[in-house]
C-alpha cells in the first residue's frame, strides 16, 4: 500500500510538469494539512485518477469582522441600533470577495482551463469540477480513498493541499479536501424510545412521566392564546430524509391540543431536492418531534418545514445550502426563528470549513433570524455517548458563537417537589474551533475557575462554551406512524425554546417592534439571565468521566438555564 501510494505520487508530479503553465511553476504553500485522517477513517490508497471531484473554493470575504461588529450592534440590547437588522444587500457588501481576490482566483482558474460557478448569494463560494489527477497536480495533493470503519462510507480526501503563494491570501479553504465527514444524523436518531403505546391515556400534568404541550405550558408559563402575526415564520430544519407527517400531527393535536384546530398544518420549503413524503411508514421520529413541539406549542405561529434533500452543493450536509435558501427568501417568508436538531462532532471538519459554516449563520442571524440548535446527546463525548474518547468531543455547529445552543434538562422529584436538573446526555463543553466570544467571557472564566483544575487538558479553556440555555429533554409524547411514543433528547429542547422565542416575536411584531434576532447578547445580559431559571444540578458523563457538573450561573450542561415566559416577556420590553 505504501509503495503504491508513492508510485502514484511520482506519476502525478510528472503529469503536472508536463502540463505546467506559468502559474503552476510559482512557489506553492501548503494551505491546509492534517497529520492523519479524522478518527474512524481508514486510508484505502490513491483515489482513481479519473474520478470527478466537486470542489468548493471559499474566497476570503471583504470584511467578516466588520459584519460581526454589525451583528453585535443590532443584537446587544444596550446598543442604540438594537433591533435594526440588516438587509441581504448590506450583508453581501461585507461577505463578497474584493475585486482583487476575485481576479486572483479567476485568473488562476482560467490559466488552468477550469470553469467555475458561484454557489452563494454574495459570490464568496465557487464550485469547480475536475478529475482527481488534475486536482492532485493543481494542488500538490494526494487525493485518496478513505473509508469510515463504522458506517463504511467512503470519502475522497487528501491530508494536505497547496496553493500558489500569491493566491493563498485570497482563499479561505478548498472543500472537501482535509475535512472528513460521515452522514449527519439527528443527535440521537432513535431518540429515547421508552415505550410504544396505542392511543388515549391520562395526561400527566407535571411533565415528569410524560411531557406534553399542556405541561410544558405550565412548566414554562407558555401562553396558549393563538399568535396573530402572519409574517413571523418559525423554521424547522430537516435532513437525512426525515419526513413529518400531517396525519401524525393531526393525531397529536387532537389528543394533546384539543383547544386548537386539529387540521393545523405547516408549510414545506424544499432545498437541494428535498421532499416531505406523506407515506405514514416514512414518518421520521425526529421530524415528527420537531414539528409537533413547534406547531403544538407556538400556537398559530406559521411553521415552515425546511426539507433539505440529497443534492447538496456545500459539502457540509446541506447546512450552508439551507442558510443560502433562507437568505434568498423575502423578509415576510424568511423565518424569524430557526430550530435544528441535527449536528455532528467538531473533529469532522477543519477549522476553516467550520468557520465557513459559522459565517453562513452569521449572515442569516444578522438579518434578524434567531438560530437555535440542539447541543447533542452524548454528554461531553459528542453527539453520541462515547466510551473511547480521551479528550472531550465538542459538537458542531454548537460551537459557532452566532447561534444559540440548547441543552436538556429532566424533572427530578426531591424535597420541596419537582425540579429541573441537567440530564446526563446533554452535550456541552468548549469548542476547539471558536474562541470564547465576549458576551460569555465572564461566565466561562467563572465556570473554569470553579473546576479548580479538574479535566485540564481534556477541554479547550479558551473555546466558546455551549450550550447557552436549556429546556426539558425527557419523555415527550410524539405521534409517529400512527402510534404515540415517548422520546427524549436535546432534539426536543431546541423546538421548545424556539417556540417560546417565536411567541415573543409575535407579540413584539404586533407592537411594531423588531423580532429578537441573534439572542445571545440579550440572554447573557443581566435582564436576559434574570428571565431564565438557573439549573444547578446534574452532570453530563462520557469519555469515561463524570463529565461537567451544573453549577449556579452558566455551565456546560444547562447553559444559563431554562425559560420563564412571563419574565422573558418583561425582559424584552413587553410588560
- What lies within 8 Å, CB to CB, of 346 at 6+ separation is 354, 382, 393, 394, 395, 396, 399, 431, 432, 433
CA–CA distance, 436 with 440 (Å, rounded to integer): 7
CA–CA distance, 141 with 177 (Å, rounded to integer): 9
Question: Is 151 an interacting residue with respect to ligand NAG (CB under 6 A)?
Answer: yes
> Which of 412, 418, 442, 510 touches ligand NAG by CB under 6 A?
412
Under 8 Å between Cβ of 444 and 459: no
By rule CB under 6 A, what count of residues binds ligand NAG? 23
Per 3-state DSSP, what percentage of the chain is helix, strand, and coil (rounded to 5)? 30, 25, 45
| CA dist list (Å): 389 to 35, 377, 483, 525 | 19, 15, 37, 35
Omega prior to 573 cis, within 30 of 0: no
| Residue 169 or 544 having the CB closest to ligand NAG | 544
Least distance to ligand NAG, CB of residue 427, Å: 12
Is 555 marked as binding a ligand? yes
Stretch of 67-75, 85-93, 379-387, 483-491 lying at the interface with ligand NAG (CB under 6 A): 379-387
| CA dist list (Å): 321 to 184, 286, 308 | 15, 21, 8
Is 272 marked as binding a ligand? no
Stretch of 277-285, 330-338, 366-374, 383-391 lying at the interface with ligand NAG (CB under 6 A): 383-391
| Residue 34 or 419 having the CB closest to ligand NAG | 419
What is the contact mask toward ligand NAG in residues 413 to 452, using x (rule: CB under 6 A)?
-x----x-x----------x-xx-----------------
Least distance to ligand NAG, CB of residue 444, Å: 12
Q: Is 290 an annotated catalytic residue? A: yes
Stretch of 206-214, 278-286, 465-473, 536-544 lying at the interface with ligand NAG (CB under 6 A): 536-544
Question: Is 538 an interacting residue with respect to ligand NAG (CB under 6 A)?
Answer: yes
Q: Is 420 an annotated catalytic residue? A: no
- Which residues inside 313-342 make contact with ligand NAG, applying CB under 6 A? none
- Residue with the shortest CB distance to ligand NAG: 39
Residue showing cell 473554493: 57
| Residue 37 or 335 having the CB closest to ligand NAG | 37
CA–CA distance, 249 with 482 (Å, rounded to integer): 10
Q: Cβ of 482: how many Cβ atoms within 10 Å? A: 14
End-to-end distance of the chain based on CA atoms, in angstroms? 70
Question: Is 388 an interacting residue with respect to ligand NAG (CB under 6 A)?
Answer: yes
Q: Cβ of 44: how many Cβ atoms within 10 Å? A: 12
Is 553 marked as binding a ligand? yes
CA–CA distance, 569 with 575 (Å, rounded to integer): 6
Least distance to ligand NAG, CB of residue 167, Å: 24
Backbone angles phi, psi at 501, to 5 degrees: -65, -40
| Residue 506 or 534 having the CB closest to ligand NAG | 534
- Which residues inside 390-409 make contact with ligand NAG, applying CB under 6 A? 393
Least distance to ligand NAG, CB of residue 460, Å: 4
> Which of 294, 348, 386, 404 touches ligand NAG by CB under 6 A?
386
Q: Is 286 an annotated catalytic residue? A: yes
Least distance to ligand NAG, CB of residue 421, Å: 4
Under 8 Å between Cβ of 289 and 186: no
CA–CA distance, 65 with 301 (Å, rounded to integer): 34
Is 248 marked as binding a ligand? no
CA–CA distance, 510 with 230 (Å, rounded to integer): 10
- Which residues inside 447-486 make contact with ligand NAG, applying CB under 6 A? 460, 462-463
Which of 76, 286, 396, 410 is flagged as catalytic? 286
Catalytically annotated residues: 286, 290, 491
Which residues in this chain contact ligand NAG in the complex, by CB under 6 A?
Answer: 39-40, 151-152, 382, 384, 386, 388-389, 393, 412, 414, 419, 421, 432, 434-435, 460, 462-463, 537-539
Q: Which residues are annotated as a binding site for Ca(2+)?
A: 534-535, 553, 555
Amino acid at each position: 500500500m505504501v509503495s503504491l501510494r508513492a508510485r502514484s505520487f511520482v506519476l502525478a508530479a510528472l503529469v503536472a510538469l508536463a502540463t505546467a503553465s506559468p502559474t503552476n511553476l510559482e512557489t506553492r504553500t501548503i494551505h491546509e494539512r492534517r497529520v492523519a485522517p479524522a478518527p474512524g477513517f481508514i486510508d484505502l490508497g490513491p483515489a482513481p485518477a479519473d474520478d470527478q471531484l466537486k470542489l468548493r473554493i471559499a474566497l476570503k470575504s471583504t470584511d467578516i469582522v466588520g459584519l460581526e461588529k454589525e451583528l453585535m450592534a443590532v443584537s446587544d440590547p444596550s446598543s442604540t441600533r438594537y433591533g435594526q437588522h440588516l438587509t441581504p444587500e448590506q450583508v453581501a457588501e461585507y461577505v463578497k470577495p474584493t475585486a482583487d481576490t476575485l481576479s486572483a482566483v479567476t485568473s488562476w482558474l482560467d490559466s488552468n482551463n477550469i470553469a467555475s460557478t458561484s454557489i452563494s448569494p454574495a459570490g464568496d463560494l465557487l464550485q469547480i469540477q475536475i478529475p482527481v489527477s488534475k486536482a492532485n497536480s493543481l494542488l500538490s495533493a494526494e487525493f485518496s480513498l478513505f473509508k469510515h470503519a463504522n458506517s463504511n462510507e467512503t470519502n475522497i480526501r487528501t491530508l494536505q493541499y497547496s496553493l500558489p503563494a500569491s493566491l493563498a491570501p485570497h482563499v479561505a479553504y478548498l472543500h472537501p479536501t482535509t475535512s472528513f465527514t460521515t452522514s449527519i444524523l439527528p443527535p440521537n436518531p432513535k431518540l429515547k424510545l421508552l415505550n410504544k403505546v396505542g392511543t388515549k391515556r391520562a395526561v400527566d400534568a407535571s411533565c415528569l412521566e410524560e411531557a406534553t404541550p399542556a405541561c410544558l405550558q405550565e412548566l414554562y408559563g407558555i401562553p396558549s392564546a393563538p399568535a396573530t402575526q402572519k409574517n413571523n415564520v418559525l423554521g424547522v430544519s430537516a435532513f437525512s430524509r426525515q419526513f413529518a407527517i400531517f396525519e401524525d400531527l393531526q393525531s397529536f393535536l387532537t389528543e394533546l391540543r384539543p383547544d386548537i384546530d386539529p387540521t393545523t398544518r405547516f408549510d414545506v420549503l424544499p432545498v437541494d431536492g428535498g421532499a416531505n413524503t406523506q407515506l405514514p411508514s416514512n414518518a421520521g421520529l425526529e421530524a415528527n418531534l420537531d414539528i409537533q413541539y413547534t406547531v403544538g406549542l407556538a400556537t398559530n405561529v406559521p411553521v415552515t418545514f425546511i426539507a433539505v434533500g440529497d443534492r447538496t452543493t456545500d459539502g457540509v450536509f446541506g447546512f450552508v445550502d439551507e442558510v443560502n435558501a433562507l437568505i434568498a427568501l423575502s423578509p415576510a417568508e424568511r423565518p424569524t426563528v430557526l430550530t435544528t436538531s441535527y449536528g455532528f462532532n467538531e473533529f469532522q471538519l477543519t477549522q476553516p470549513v467550520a468557520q465557513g459554516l459559522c459565517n453562513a449563520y452569521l449572515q442569516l442571524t444578522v438579518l434578524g433570524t434567531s438560530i437555535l440548535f440542539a447541543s447533542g446527546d452524548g454528554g461531553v463525548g459528542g453527539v453520541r455517548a462515547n466510551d473511547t474518547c480521551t479528550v472531550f468531543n465538542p459538537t458542531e455547529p454548537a460551537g459557532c458563537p452566532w447561534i444559540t445552543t440548547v441543552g436538556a434538562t429532566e424533572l427530578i422529584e426531591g424535597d420541596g417537589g419537582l425540579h429541573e436538573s441537567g440530564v446526563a446526555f446533554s452535550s456541552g463543553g468548549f469548542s476547539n474551533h471558536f474562541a470564547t466570544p465576549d458576551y460569555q467571557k465572564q461566565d466561562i472564566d467563572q465556570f473554569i475557575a470553579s473546576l479548580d483544575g479538574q479535566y485540564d487538558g481534556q477541554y479547550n479553556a479558551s473555546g466558546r462554551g455551549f450550550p447557552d440555555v436549556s429546556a426539558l429533554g425527557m419523555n415527550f409524547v410524539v405521534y409517529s406512524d400512527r402510534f404515540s411514543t415517548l422520546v427524549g433528547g436535546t432534539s426536543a429542547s431546541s423546538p421548545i425554546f424556539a417556540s417560546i422565542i417565536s411567541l415573543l416575536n409575535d407579540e413584539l411584531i404586533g407592537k411594531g417592534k423588531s423580532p429578537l434576532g441573534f439572542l445571545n447578547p440579550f440572554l447573557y445580559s443581566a435582564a436576559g439571565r434574570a428571565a431564565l431559571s438557573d439549573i444547578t444540578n446534574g452532570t453530563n458523563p462520557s469519555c469515561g468521566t463524570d463529565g461537567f457538573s451544573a453549577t449556579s450561573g452558566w455551565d456546560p450542561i444547562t447553559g444559563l438555564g431554562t425559560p420563564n415566559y412571563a419574565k422573558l416577556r418583561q425582559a424584552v420590553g413587553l410588560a
